Chain A
Amino acid sequence: MNFEDDLREALRHEPAPPDFAAKVLARTSHRPPIRRAAVLALVAALAIAAIIPSAAHQYRERQRALEAKDQLMAALAITRTQLQQAKEKIRRNTRSKI
């Protein structure tokens, strides 16, 4: 035999055994879906674990900032009132002195 014959023999087309497709389907319908689901669940869990605390933290910070802003406005409003009252008292006192 020469080299060409060897090659031809090696590349010779052989039909698949009749139960080949059934065997392949049997294998794919067993463990892989479970593994795939597990992997998907793990990925989802990791994504949730990464996203939720960050989103929750952002939400909390925003709430804290809004609350702080409201308090700041209230503080400045009280300051305004007190300054106005002090000004009024000064006016009254100055007038009564005159």
Chain B
Amino acid sequence: MNKTLLLLAAALPAFAQQTFDFNTLDKLGVKAKESTNITLDGDTLKLAGNFLNNDNASLKPVVDNLKGVYVRSYEFEKEGQYADADLEPLRAYIKTLQWTKIVDVKEDKETSEIYVKPLLNNRLGGLAIIDAEPKEVNVIYITGDLSTSDLAKLGGNFGIPDMKFLHDDKKSGKKPTDKR
């Protein structure tokens, strides 16, 4: 009985991973003046990967290992046009996945959170960013098998800053920033 419960508890994160509906975040952008909704699952990512041209062919192996890319980005005319509470289901969901929160910055009315799913051998199973500002909300959720060099590769092509600062902090045993 105990073993069954343990197995169920272990399987819960994987189950939860498949059940979050990112469309629930769409209500965040009801009053947005500009919005970007991107949902790319594994098959679509593979399709996109096949069309990466010479300029970004080096991204292909990275993209091939991704399972999902979800982006919700909203800009508002005025402050208070979205409810921070609408982000709570996502935060709760990420909590069930037991990802590591590596960045948690709160300044004035802005919050930035970055979560990663650490795997063995310096690999990551996913990356989530929740950035909430008075007139802007950004949610990024990427799953798949990523190495730190993959992230560096992304940085090479898109100017994504290298994630070294994250690993330096991990190595030193310090939390990068935790103002909450």
Contacts and interface: CB of A to CB of B under 8 A. Distances in A.
B69 A75 contact: yes
Nearest to B127: A79
B160 A79 contact: yes
A33 to B, nearest CB: 49
B51 A69 contact: yes
A92 B44 CA distance: 38
Interface of A is mostly: helix
Interface residues of B, number: 39
Interface residues on A, range: 20 to 34
A65 B47 contact: yes
A82 B69 contact: no
A59 B39 CA distance: 22
B38 A86 contact: no
A57 interface: no
A78 B73 contact: yes
A39 interface: no
A68 B129 contact: no
A77 B38 CA distance: 12
Contacts of A73: 56
Contacts of B157: 76
Interface of B: 36, 38, 40, 44-45, 47-48, 50-52, 56, 63, 69, 71, 73, 103, 105, 107, 110, 112, 114, 127, 129, 131, 138, 140, 142, 154-155, 157-161, 163, 165, 176-177, 179
